[in-house]
């Protein structure tokens, strides 16, 4: 059992400059990844959704259990990366030092935890303030982002409990002062997140693979038949020893003259149902997280036009996620950064994702060629866009004469 410190950064006070809230200790529970089935899911859901005494402990343990699924982990990270890999800017200021304070790894960590609330239902974040970042933002980060362990948080009662192993509606009231000014809360009081929909798919998929493994054990290897003379003493023992020494493939030992009939189920028709069921479960998980399947995996099926439609669906979901994060940064987090941490330079500023379309050089050339046929283009703008230096006299003469500016290589034919 580990104990970690719960620190609520600093309280700003005009007379004392700053004081610290008394450190609290919370006990973190060990993750339990035991066997799980649909009955565990129902029990955990009933416990988490209880109106009188809601307790998410079993539900969170079940999530930790199913998170190891590779497909599920990949699609969740894909949706989160659509936000964390999109550059975010601070509009309303030209101060490079202020901008650099927020274009730092801690911001990406914060965005990831904000997105995790979509799957878990709730995230409570403690930002640990670092004043040294003002002196040297290139070496120090403004905040250290820490997630309050979810098992210790009761969103329904708005408290942080001291011990994750015991249910309690008593603890630190994180929605009341002074804690509310120092913690970032994301998610609803009774929101259980998308994992509530995803857990059954992973459990059904695991059970399906267990049945498939048993199927392969029974029918995956050829069955051998051994006959022995029942009238010869010790013959059966000799045949059995020989069968065991021949390998792990299944075998049957029968007396001579005995008829044995095997009904072969080891065909593509017999085992195809397992793969089909597995694909269905994977597709359900992908659709739940990304809204479609063609941008992640469809075994090469589907037309280009249909793929574009599915990509548009995913882009609209990503746009919704980014808008939600912008609202949280500007309406939930920024006021606390100004009020609690004294970051007055954020007044009048706005966090916004940079959704400018990035064109490849080839795409830019095609755009300029079309624009050239429609309207005159200033040469200096063209050179700045492609980072081209001003031409010298020799290059102009070569260009006017239709000669290549690429030097010739002996023995090589230039394209």
CA nearest 181: which of 22, 347, 21? 21
DSSP lists the bridge partners of residue 159 as 154, 173
Cα distance between residue 275 and residue 39, in whole Å: 24
| Overall residue count recorded for the chain in this entry | 415
Establish whether the linkage from the previous residue to 178 is cis, with ω within 30° of 0.
Answer: yes
How would you classify the pairing of strands 184-187 and 88-91?
Answer: unpaired
pLDDT value at position 47? Answer: 93
Cα distance between residue 140 and residue 138, in whole Å: 6
Are 188 and 122 in contact, with CB atoms under 8 Å apart?
A: yes
Domain ranges of the chain: 2-197, 222-265, 357-415
* Cα distances (angstroms) measured from residue 120 to each of 10, 172, 194, 196, 406: 29, 21, 7, 8, 58
Contacts of 267 (CB under 8 A, 6+ apart): none
Cα distance between residue 413 and residue 415, in whole Å: 6
Tens-digit pLDDT string for the chain (415 aa): 343 333 443 444 433 333 233 345 666 777 777 788 899 999 999 999 998 889 999 999 999 999 999 999 999 999 999 999 998 889 999 888 888 889 899 999 999 999 999 999 999 999 988 888 887 777 788 898 999 989 889 999 999 888 777 767 788 899 998 889 989 999 999 999 999 999 999 999 999 988 888 888 777 777 777 777 777 778 888 878 877 777 666 777 777 777 666 655 555 556 788 889 999 999 999 999 998 876 665 555 555 556 566 677 888 899 999 999 999 999 999 999 999 988 999 999 999 998 776 777 787 777 777 777 777 777 777 777 778 788 787 777 777 776 655 555 555 454 4
CA nearest 347: which of 88, 91, 12? 91
Q: From the CB of residue 170, how many other CB atoms can be counted at a distance below 10 Å?
A: 10
Kindly report the CA angle at 349 between 347 and 353, in degrees rounded to 5?
150
Handedness of CA 191, 195, 199, 200 (dihedral sign): positive
């Amino acid at each position: 059992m580990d104990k970690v410190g719960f620190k609520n950064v600093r309280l700003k006070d005009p007379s004392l400059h700053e004081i610290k809230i008394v450190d609290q200790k919370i006990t973190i529970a060990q993750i339990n990844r035991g066997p799980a089935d649909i009955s565990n899911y129902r029990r955990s859901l009933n416990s988490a959704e209880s109106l009188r005494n809601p307790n998410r402990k079993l539900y969170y343990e079940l999530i930790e259990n199913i998170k190891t699924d590779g497909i599920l982990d990949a699609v969740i990270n894909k949706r989160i990366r659509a936000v964390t890999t999109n550059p975010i800017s601070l509009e309303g200021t030209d101060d490079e030092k202020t901008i650099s304070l927020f274009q730092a790894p801690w911001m990406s960590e914060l965005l990831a935890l904000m997105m995790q609330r979509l799957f878990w239902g709730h995230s409570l974040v403690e930002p640990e303030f670092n004043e040294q970042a003002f002196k040297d933002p290139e070496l120090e980060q403004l905040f250290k982002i820490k997630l309050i362990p979810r098992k210790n948080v009761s969103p329904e009662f708005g408290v942080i409990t001291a011990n994750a192993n015991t249910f309690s509606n008593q603890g630190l009231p994180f929605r009341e002062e002074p804690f509310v000014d120092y913690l970032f809360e994301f998610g609803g009081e009774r929101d259980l997140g998308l994992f509530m929909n995803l857990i059954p798919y992973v459990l059904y998929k695991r059970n399906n693979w267990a049945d498939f493994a048993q199927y392969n054990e029974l029918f995956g290897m050829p069955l051998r038949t051994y006959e022995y003379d029942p009238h010869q003493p010790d013959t059966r023992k000799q045949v059995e020893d020989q069968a065991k020494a021949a390998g792990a493939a299944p075998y049957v030992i029968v007396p001579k003259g005995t008829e044995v009939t095997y009904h072969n189920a080891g065909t593509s028709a017999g085992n195809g149902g397992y793969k089909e069921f597995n694909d269905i479960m994977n597709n359900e998980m992908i659709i739940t997280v990304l809204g479609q399947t063609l941008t992640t995996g469809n075994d090469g099926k589907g037309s280009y036009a249909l793929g574009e439609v599915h990509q548009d669906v995913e882009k609209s979901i990503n746009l919704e996620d980014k808008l939600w994060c912008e609202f949280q940064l500007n309406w939930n987090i920024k006021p606390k950064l100004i009020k609690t941490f004294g970051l007055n330079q954020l007044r009048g500023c706005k966090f916004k994702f940079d959704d400018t379309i990035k064109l490849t050089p080839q795409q830019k050339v095609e755009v300029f060629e079309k624009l050239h046929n429609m309207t005159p283009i200033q040469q200096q703008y063209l050179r700045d866009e492609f980072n081209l230096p001003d031409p010298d006299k020799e290059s102009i003469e070569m260009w006017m004469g239709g000669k290549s500016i690429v030097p010739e290589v002996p023995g090589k034919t230039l394209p």
